[in-house]
Amino acid sequence: MDAGQDNLTPLGRLEKYAFSENIFNRQIVARGLIDVLREFSDNENDFISIMETVARMSEDAEPTVRAELMEQVPNIAMFLHESRPNFPVAFSRYLVPIVVRYLTDPNNQVRKTSQAALLVLLEQGLICKTDMEGKVCPVLLELTEPNSDDDYKIEALAIMCKLITMLGKDTVEHRLLLRYCELCSDSRLFQVRKVCAVNFGEFCSIVGQEATEKLLLPKFYDLCSDSLWGIRKACAECFMVVSHCTSAVVRRSKLSPLFINLISDQSRWVRQAAFQSLGRFISTFATPSGTGFHFHEDGTLREIRTLSTDSSKHPVVKVLSASQTPEDTYYPPAQSLNKPPAEGIILVRSECSTPTFNQQTDDMYNSFHYWRPVLPDISQDLELLQSEGKDEETGKEMLKGEEEVPNLNPKDPAMSCQIQKVLESLQPHLDDPDVQAQVQVLSAALKAAQLESQENDGDQVTNLHIVTISVFFCYPLININHMSLFPLTPSSLLFILQNVVPQQLLDQYLSMTDPARAQTVDTEIARHCAFSLPGVALTLGRQNWHCLKDTYETLATDVQWKVRRTLAFSIHELAVILGDQLTAADLVPIFNGFLKDLDEVRIGVLKHLYDFLKLLHADKRREYLYQLQEFMVTDNSRNWRFRFELAEQLILIIELYSHHDVYNYLRQIALDLCSDKVSEVRWISYKLVVEILQKLYSCGAHDLSLNFINELVVRFCHCPKWVGRQAFAFICQAVVEEDCMPMDQFAQHLLPCLLSLSSDPVPNVRVLVAKALRQSVLEKSYFKEPGGAYTDELEEALSELRMDKDRDVRFFATLDPKRDVICTAALI
């Protein structure tokens, strides 16, 4: 400004205008500080002079100048961080005090600007831990004191909640946690309680289980019953995160009833948020030992298979008391199966044949008695249902879990006969809903056990299915003579077969498909149910799939395509959880229905087609070969991404089928995709063709390989359209680079045709020919040997291409193969 009109140095001129009486001049100086620093920061004295000027400018009486200055602080900090070796000292001395002081500025715009600047500096990691603890935290604590200004308190709390994710556990616990707990109980400002509720999960995640249960949960209980629906809604939204940070005992005994209250809240918005979080909350009850799965470090779901080291020992299925809970985190990949599992029925796979059912006794607590009324004496009914009766005392001992239950193998003809007799005796009374529920449970238990027994040798049966039937007969709710010992509901029946999550939670989840819920809660409630269903299924385990099967089938036929689309995108994950037998019985029919659905639904199964098919048995998988062609037909022909996804999936699917099936079924689809109107589809399809050729050669199918090569030559090399001839050049290059076939076979069957295209009239074809020859073919040792096959022809073709009239052709013909290869996708 006014350069050359005074005798001042540049820094003197900065000093003059930084404190000018003209507000506009001071604003201009603040806005241009970053440029001044770039010019003079190399000189230490100049740098100090500039920073001191900045410090003085921060005391400007004009709010717009202070706000302009604060907007530049993050940029100045980034510049100093990159260019100054002593950045931490200078930043801490000059800039941090300005940021902290502006947090208490009387002007709202200045405060908001300083808050935004502080968060940027924290996210970039530019504020050291010492400054955060010694300068930032004290100011936040001061601003959130009970007698602090309301606006300051709300703003400081918001910053505090964002700050904790960047501070360590100890700092948050020792400096901020108690103040946060006080703010959760602020009876005067509902805005403060709202901010606390929204960020409650973050605090729990940072401080861990002990502090959460001791200090935070009492506040959470109060917030969940707050008089304002917005605060209760915020609690429902963060419920899953809070649950992660508690033990299994607290989760079941304290949080579950609390969540039930939110689901039945008088406010529709609270109920809506609670139902949206219900599936996620249920998923926190999962443990690797209970589900049989854990998440690997790469994010994939892995099944846990533990084999007994002593073949003389029986696999054990235990019902543990609530006092035996592990360090409970959500699907911890590193958690060992040797740790005590959480309460519930735990499945341990073994090579042994006969299962036993042990129950640990506890005078103070019994998981079975605790969660349902004490059952009556059933010893006489046991005599009716078991071939070898036991006296009344034995029945009582089994009720307490102190005796082993005999092996009730559903494959045993006698036991199967008994079960069938029970089912037949109930048929005349199917008008009674309770009897219908009884029949469903018995049928489901028998079917599940029989399905599982098919994949095991001899009399080996999955423990939990045996336990399902054993529990049912050892604590029977069905009396053949009297029909029922006490009133029975579907919910109580389901409980017999699962004790993973509280039954009330599961009942509420299953009710999400009720049309009445869409009217009273949320029109999108079915989609939320579908979205969380794989997580719920994983939590319950495949042994409890019968609890979810009807709900899944209802969702799969929902009138809203978005619900079906959600299921379609996750059906492959559910197949992993259920295993091949249940997948074949229950998921394959639904999968087949999705294949004939709208494109918006079909794309879900198509994106994970390989993941689903690989889980099926070979004979079932082969049935889908006939349906792959149907993916070529879409509701909208312009939906080219559908065909692109099909090509990507076919590349993966090739490994699942024999070379004969690949040649007979996948080959034609690949060739059709290579002729697509959209270049992106053609590009990926050429790679599919290469994979097919590699499959044929790797399996030794030389006749089929030669037939396929001849078809490629006719279809592409001799194509009247230049796009087809260009595709042939690309395919040849990919074949060489991927070593899809022996080089002598390539030289004999493909190279002559490739060389013939070196004189193609279209430059775009010659470009790819030049690239294939120079970048790939000549790099193979087979073609580098003196006097080798086609060596002279190769050199002659490249010589002509190096003198081509098109400069792009010349470039690729002379390009050093070791240089970065320029992408030619745009040419295809």
Give 237-289 as a DSSP string: HTHHHHHHTS-HHHIIIIIHHHHHHHHT-SSHHHHHHHHHHHHHHHHTT--HH
3-state SS, 43-101, equals: CHHHHHHHHHHHHHHCCCCCHHHHHHHHHHHHHHHHHHHHHCCCHHHHHHHHHHHHHHH
State the Cα–Cα distance between residues 411 and 458, nearest whole angstrom: 10
* H or E element at residue 295: strand 293-295
Mean pLDDT value across residues 669-678: 93
- Residue 167: predicted pLDDT: 83
Give me the DSSP letters along 394-424.
Answer: HHHHHHHT-SPPP---TTSHHHHHHHHHHHH
- Amino acid 471: pLDDT: 38
**pLDDT score, position 550:** 94
Taking the C-alpha atoms of residue 569 and residue 577, their distance in angstroms, rounded to an integer, is: 15
CA 586 to chain centre: 24
Smallest Cα–Cα separation from 798: which of 818, 820, 781, 783? 783
Give CA–CA dist 67/99, Å, rounded. Answer: 11
- Does the pLDDT of residue 336 top 70, yes or no? no
| 234-238, 375-379, 515-519, 591-595, range with the lowest pLDDT | 375-379
Task: Check: CB of residue 314 under 8 Å from CB of residue 566.
Answer: no
H or E element at residue 305:
none
Residue 404 confidence (pLDDT) above 70: no
Separation of alpha carbons 775 and 392, rounded Å = 85
Measured on CA atoms in the order 519, 521, 523, 527, is the torsion positive or negative?
negative
**Tokens 């079960």 sit on residue:** 419
Largest distance between two CA atoms of the chain:
114
The mean pLDDT of 404-432, rounded to a whole number, is: 60
Tokens describing residue 48: 């100090």
Q: Is the pLDDT of residue 609 over 50?
A: yes
User: What is the pLDDT at residue 818?
Assistant: 62
Kindly state the tokens that stand for 321.
């008391």
Of 435, 419, 434, 429, which is closest to residue 473 (Cα–Cα)? 419
Confidence of residue 53 (pLDDT cuts 50, 70, 90): confident
pLDDT the model gives residue 23: 87
Q: Each residue of 723-776: pLDDT tens digit?
A: 999 999 999 999 999 999 999 899 999 999 999 999 999 999 999 999 999 888
713 vs 584: CA distance, rounded Å: 42
* Separation between Cα atoms, residue 763 and residue 807, nearest integer Å: 10
- Say what angle helices 561-582 and 433-454 make with each other, to 10 degrees: 50
Q: pLDDT digits over 200-218, tens only?
A: 999 999 999 999 999 999 9
Residue 352: pLDDT band (50, 70, 90) is: very low
> Which pLDDT does position 370 carry in this prediction?
36
Nearest to 498 by CA among 556, 426, 448: 448
Phi then psi for residue 363, to 5 deg, are: -60, -30
Q: What values do phi and psi take at 674, rounded to 5?
A: -70, -15
Looking at per-residue pLDDT, the higher value among 349 and 447 belongs to 447
Q: Where are the beta strands (DSSP E) in 300-434?
A: 301-303, 316-319, 356-359
C-alpha–C-alpha distance, residues 281 and 238, integer Å: 9
**Predicted confidence (pLDDT) per residue in 262-311, tens digit:** 999 999 999 999 999 999 999 999 887 777 777 766 667 777 765 444 43
Confidence label for 596 from pLDDT (cuts 50, 70 and 90): very high
CA distance linking residue 260 with residue 257, whole number of Å: 5
Residue 344 has pLDDT above 90, yes or no: no
Q: For Cα atoms 408, 411, 417, give the angle at the middle one, nearest 5 degrees.
A: 80
- Residue 690 · residue 731 · CB < 8 Å: yes
Would you give the distance in Å from CA 613 to the centre of its chain? 21
Residue with tokens 């109107």: 677
Residue 331 has pLDDT above 50, yes or no: no
**Residue 292 near residue 542 (C-beta atoms within 8 A):** yes
Read off the pLDDT band of 782 (50, 70, 90): confident
- State pLDDT tens for residues 90-139: 788 888 899 999 998 889 999 999 989 998 888 888 888 888 888 899 99
Q: What is the per-residue pLDDT across 540-549, written as a single tens digit (0 to 9) for each?
A: 998 899 999 9
* pTM of this structure: 0.72
Helix (H) or strand (E) holding 157: helix 150-163
| Arithmetic mean of pLDDT over the chain | 79
